[in-house]
Amino acid sequence: MIRISKLELFFFLLIFDIFPSTISILQNEDRVPNAPQNVRVKTQSTSATLWWDAPPDPTVLIRGYTVEYGEGSISQRIVIEGPDSTSFTVTRLAPNTNYVFAVSAYNEAEGEDGTKVMVAAKTRPAEGVQTEKLWPPTSVRARIEEKSLGGSAIVSWDDPNPENAADNSIDATQRQYVINYGIYESDTQQKVRSNAKAVRLTGLIPGKEYEVAVKVVAGDGSESPWSIRDLFLVPETKKVSKFDWFCRLNDTEMCSIDSSPHWKLCTAKHDTYTQRDAGACPRVQYPSSPAHLTTPPISLPDAQHLCFYFRFALLNFHPGQMKVEIHPDGDTSNRQIVWKTRMANVRTHVVQNVYIPFPQQIRPFKVSVSLKWDGQPMPRVIVHEMDVLSGGCSERSTACNLVSESTTAANGDVDFDSSELPETF
């Protein structure tokens, strides 16, 4: 048994109390330090302050820390000497900018730093500097889709705010538009978002007046004021006979219409310079004359009065000719011309709405719209819609200056000059 005197015990306790760290902790540099703990950052408009706690292993000697940073990726490095410095302020940063930071401890083991701890932060906007003001959309307009199932409207607008570099960067959030609409003076309003400068509103109630307004939302979240609201009326739904045949030409289908090789489907275009619905338009390479669009066979033996409605626009002046013919299905030799005109009489860039009455057809029949021209390229005509209506034409043609000045068709529905054109093309 080892015996210790009271004096020896007194000196032992005295030394342990004065030099406890020397006895309990022996530090070395045989490996790099662990990662700093609890790294955090706080930013101002042009600076960022980082704090951290020392690595948890006290047996590994720490000679200092490194702070690295950059915009999006590491590009700058600062070395801090001494193990007791556990905070640092980075200066000369750009306002309102995203930065990444990295903190690590180092010693002389293998000449390398320890594990890095990464954090990200955004500096504040510069004081006294406001973000650029966004202007509200202009020319908000609604166009009713009368032939669609249920009430619907296409709402479009212009954006007066120019694009900037931030909008086009890879990491940018795309500019959006918020559309607020509802029944006029109603408490119930709905909102939809769109990345394009147009949107289709569906589920509208026929016979109700609606109001709509639009605002811009930039990629950084800033918003413009609301635009001036536009008011539009959704018309009452027309009662359609089960015999009626409708074809609204769009960019996906031709409604089983038989077309000559001259035609192709064109998409709608609505922008500052062009307001155009989808339809059938000429191909780039124009084959020789004539061109035609012909309905599929239609059987309406019980209809005492019939009406052919078609909607088209002429995009350039042309001396060619246009006509509409009816003929029995399977008998193209027995054609009846029900309407014809010279295209020189048609105003360009105006949508023509033409209603043509024709008599009862006991046998199945087809309706054909034909174009003929000599020595020039094919007329630039876009046909938007072709309908065959039972019950006759209840509306007068709204075509603008469609035909020559001196003649009026029977029933007052369509004007054309039958004396100027031959009976056949």
Domain ranges of the chain: 1-129, 138-233, 245-412
**Could you tell me the pTM of the whole model?**
0.40
pLDDT of residue 302: 84
Nearest-angstrom CA–CA distance, 203 and 177:
20
Place of tokens 């001036």: 228
What letter represents residue 334's amino acid?
A: N
Q: Are strands 151-158 and 138-144 parallel, antiparallel or unpaired?
A: antiparallel
For 1-129, give the CATH class.
Answer: mainly beta
The topology under which CATH files domain 245-412 is Jelly Rolls (2.60.120)
In angstroms, rounded to a whole number, what is the distance separating the alpha carbons of residues 115 and 113?
Answer: 7
Q: Which CATH class is domain 138-233?
A: mainly beta
Copy the structure tokens of residue 181. Answer: 């609409």
Closest by CA to 386, choosing from 256, 253, 255, 246, is 246
Amino acid 237: pLDDT: 60
- Would you say the CATH fold of 245-412 matches that of 138-233? no
Task: Check if the beta carbon of residue 241 is closer than 8 Å to that of residue 302.
Answer: no
Neighbours of 361 (CB within 10 A): 21
> Quick one: CA dihedral 116, 117, 122, 126, positive or negative?
negative
pLDDT truncated to tens, each residue of the chain (425 aa)? 556 565 565 555 555 555 444 444 677 777 888 889 999 998 888 889 998 998 888 888 888 889 999 987 888 888 888 888 888 888 888 888 899 999 998 887 765 667 889 899 988 887 654 455 788 999 999 888 655 555 788 999 999 887 655 554 444 457 889 999 999 888 889 999 988 899 999 888 888 889 999 999 887 778 899 998 898 888 876 444 446 788 887 756 677 788 888 888 888 777 666 667 788 888 766 667 788 999 989 888 888 888 999 899 988 888 889 999 999 988 888 899 999 999 888 988 888 999 999 998 888 999 999 998 887 788 889 998 999 988 778 655 444 333 332 222 333 333 333 333 333 33
